[in-house]
Structure 1
Amino acid sequence: MKEQKAIEIIKSSGDKVRFSLTKLRKSLQRSGADEALVAQIVNQVRDELYQGISTREIYNRAFALLKKKKAVFASKYKLKKAIYELGPTGFPFEKFVAAILLYSGYTTEVGKIIQGHCVTHEVDVFAKKNGLVAVIECKFHSEEGRNCNVKIPLYIHSRYEDIKKHWNRKRNDNHTLDKGWVVTNTRFTEDAIAYGKCVDLYLLSWDVPEGDGLKDRIDRLGLYPITVSTLLSKREKQFLLSRDIVLCRQLLNDHFFLDHLEIQEPRKEKIMKELRQLCNC
């Protein structure tokens, strides 16, 4: 299959880029759809392209075709959009990051107040594992197209250094302050990545580190946010988020919340089936 020539699409940032069949194919493959279905959707979307089509229109079309075939494929495909739907505030994203780390062997606290050398700091996520402590700042963007620029790691590094100076001076904790983190649901600019490497900040975004970014961790561990569900309504998702249910896996374990929502048994069974497929349970 040849790449589409001379078709420019408009990203959410407003930038124009050349459409890539390869990128579309890879995003569809991540949904779990088999190669025959992926090829079918790629061909259909390709045939419907026109100059200046938006990435949103391409996404909506591919999503609709996946959902028509199998809901769980559509749920996985909408992962990036689902993380945006955790908003509009960044607090559910902080809880989402903490939940991912919890299932990766960390103990976590959200919104912890820590004394620095100069001032106190409210840390988004305070995580411990194997005697090491990570101080994590989460930068959530509710609008697509916005990247995390170098100002963010510059600011976070200064806070981390203030905390580190006090931590090392008091020497009354059996945990070692290991590293500062910056986690975002979008992407880092090149300057942000360069600065993070220079000062040894750990940067975690949609696709950084390569092969171990948010999308990779979520897919690998089956830790999908509740907002990926195509069977729950927006109101139901907001109810669950308000009860600190941010992962599909959490709802699978605490499915009595579906009773609180007065969801009837046939629909409840469909939702539970979707959750099990998403969590590989």
Structure 2
Amino acid sequence: MEHHVYIKKSNGETELFSFEKLRRSLQSAGANKDMVETIVHKIQGQIYDGMSSNAIYRKAFSLLKGKNKISASRYSLKRAILELGPTGYPFERLIGALLKEKGYDTKVSVTLHGECVTHEIDVLAEKDGNVYAIECKFHADARATSNVRVPLYINSRFLDIQKQWNTNPNNKSHLKQGWLVTNTRFTEDAVNYGKCVGLTLLSWDYPKNNGLKANIDSLALYPVTTLTTLNKREKHQLIETDIILVKELFNAADKLKTIGLSDTKIQRVLDEVKQLCRLDCN
């Protein structure tokens, strides 16, 4: 029988642990019903008041990894994105790839002139004659949120660029909208401001059922940091060679040899890549 346990969150606050939330996250990662109930039962026997949410995650991840490595990879997605740091560039590449999968022509790290000053834009995306200026707010801390000051600042930059772009006769496309993307969450004021001024916001779970997690899962655009067959050092060696996405290893398996992996381990990694990408990303 499930019992009431108060756990410590990463921000130091305590809350009642939700076994149902654990079930949903395991199911979302692809674990079947029997697997989910087995893991939940084991967690029930090990959890205690004051236990950290991070410790519970590690136990659940370890149990899931022992049963299904692919589900464990998906379960680790949020933390895997946090591990893309410390710079925001790999996250920008991830967002550029996500938009490319949705039919946009994308460029990462673009310098644009505004009416008043010059701006560095993280991702520039074009589709059907419309251009979108996308700013990526990467956080290496899951507790971090983007408050209303962030979209206020981003929108003012976008308006400056838009005035210059849309009055330039050399531009054949229309700079339509600014976007703001983060790997964590927005405050309620930030969301309300974005809606008010027409700034598209995308966070881990916003918009509902169409946030960053939902998009990455549906497109199988997993970062290399999700791979369970690589250790942390090996993952960051790949990132240093500009391999950000799991699917990129299909056409760059030689990079695995470059970072010192044996042929046997390379095959294990590629098997995981193939399963994560659902056999069809190349």
Q: Which residue of 2 aligns with 1:194?
A: 192
Matches for 1:30-179 after TM superposition, within 5 Å = 30-179=28-177
- For residues 192-233 of structure 1, the C-alpha deviation after alignment (integer angstroms, 9 at most, x for no partner) is 111111111110110011111110011111110000011112
Percent sequence identity is 48
Shift of 1:20: 1.1
SS of 1:14 mapped into structure 2: coil
Q: Deviations over 1:63-104 (max 9, x none)?
A: 010111122221111000000000011111111111222222
Unaligned runs of 5+ in 2: none
8 Å CA contact retained: 2:133, 2:179: yes
Q: Report the equivalent of 1:225.
A: 223
Measure how far apart 1:3 and its partner are.
5.7
**CA contact under 8 A between 1:3 and 1:20: conserved in structure 2?**
no
The answer to whether the 8 Å contact 1:11/1:145 transfers is no
Q: Give distance in 2, aligned partners of 1:133 and 1:242.
A: 30
Match of 1:237 among 235, 238, 241: 235
Q: 2:119 is paired with a residue of what secondary structure?
A: strand
For the residues of structure 1 that align with 2:104 and 2:86, how far apart are their CA atoms?
A: 26
Contact residue 148 and residue 193 of structure 2 kept, 8 A: yes
Q: Which amino acid is the alignment partner of residue 197 of structure 1?
A: K
TM-score (norm 2): 0.95
**Which range is displaced more, 259-268 or 246-255?**
259-268
1:152-178 alpha-carbon deviations (Å, 9 max, x no partner): 101101101111111122243221112
Q: In the alignment, what sits opposite 1:27?
A: 25
Distance 1:150 1:125 in 2: 21
- Alpha-carbon RMSD: 1.3
TM-score by length of 1: 0.95
CA distance in 2, matches of 1:87, 1:153: 22
